[in-house]
Amino acid sequence: VAKPDPLLVVDGLRRSFGGLLAVHVEHLEIQRGAITALIGPNGAGKSTLFNVISGFDKPTEGRWSFAGKPVTGMAAHRIARGGLVRTFQLTRTLSRMTVLDNMRLAAPDQRGERLPFALLPPLWLAGERAITARADELLDRFRLSHLRDEYAGTLSGGQRKLLEMARALLTDPVMVLLDEPMSGVNPALAESLLEHLTGLRDEGMTVCFVEHDMDVVMGVSDWVVCMADGAVVAEGPPHTVAQNPAVIDAYLGA
Ligand code: ADP
Ligand code: MG
């Protein structure tokens, strides 16, 4: 379905694992400034699609563009620098580092990246301070400030999810891909996570998230894309997708 202002456009994307065609998306557009929910039964190809789009995996075939620029085949860090950032279904926080250091790790290395920074220590020091300030701001926003100097390994599963999300936001991305951000998060934290999603959208960020709970999807998303067996089988506003026979089939058949 064509969108008025697509930020991410995917064409003819395929990813096979041996004989298994895990993803085959003919055409998909993600609207800028909206919350898009990606639903579909286990094994539908949602994580694989995120992996490919974000540069963590290579497609077998196909191309995609972000903000009007082709990004096909680019490494994940280049795609992230372009403003498209993702989180993982299984969090990637480093347990033997503090929460703050986990945050700071998400920032691009100021020293190595650009020559002027390397030559002018005061400049990168200022950069480091700015990163710490931004990290603290996000930790505060996700109510993790009190854990700032704790090892990430001491966090609950839900807190790790929040840390993962805070980390993704450190570089002020244009769009975030969130793979099951709510799974394993207790109801109170999940509620605040949902508020963060709408808050980010209201600030102009584009959000695409994988979620299984249809009540959550109905409540928060502007648009829903349903995958089954690697393909997009339906998309539309939440209420229409919930009643779409292809969507009902996908879940009953699983
Ligand atoms: P979802 O996130 O929708 O649950 P996935 O993208 O994780 O689905 O998986 C889609 C299909 O691809 C599944 O059948 C899964 O077993 C397979 N798959 C995913 N990653 C790999 C891999 N690295 N090697 C082999 N098969 C994989
Ligand atoms: Mg998955």
Which residue is listed with tokens 């974000």?
Answer: 54
Measured from CB, residues less than 6 Å from any atom of ligand 1 are: 17, 20, 22, 40, 42-48
Dihedral sign for Cα atoms in the order 77, 227, 230, 210? positive
Q: How far, in Å, from the CA of 24 to the mean position of ligand 1? A: 12
Mutate to test the pocket of ligand 1, among 17, 39, 211, 229 (most ligand atoms within 8 A of CB): 17
Using pLDDT thresholds of 50, 70 and 90, give the confidence band for residue 183. Answer: confident
Lookup: tokens for 48: 């694989």
Atom of ligand 1 nearest to the CA of 179: 2
Q: Where in the chain is the domain with CATH 3.40.50.300?
A: 33-57+73-93+156-253
CA of 35 to the centre of ligand 2 (A): 18
By DSSP bridging, strand 35-39 and strand 206-210 are: parallel
What pLDDT, on the 0 to 100 scale, is given for residue 45?
Answer: 98
Model pLDDT, residue 112: 47
CA of 48 to the centre of ligand 2 (A): 7
Model pTM score: 0.91
Distance of CA 80 to the CA centre of its chain: 11
pLDDT in tens, 32-77: 999 999 999 999 999 999 999 999 999 999 999 999 999 999 999 9
Choose the CATH number for 33-57+73-93+156-253 among 2.40.110.10, 3.40.50.1820, 3.30.56.10, 3.40.50.300: 3.40.50.300
Strand ranges, E, within the chain: 6-17, 20-31, 35-39, 61-66, 69-70, 84-86, 175-179, 206-210, 223-228, 231-236
CA of 211 to the centre of ligand 2 (A): 9
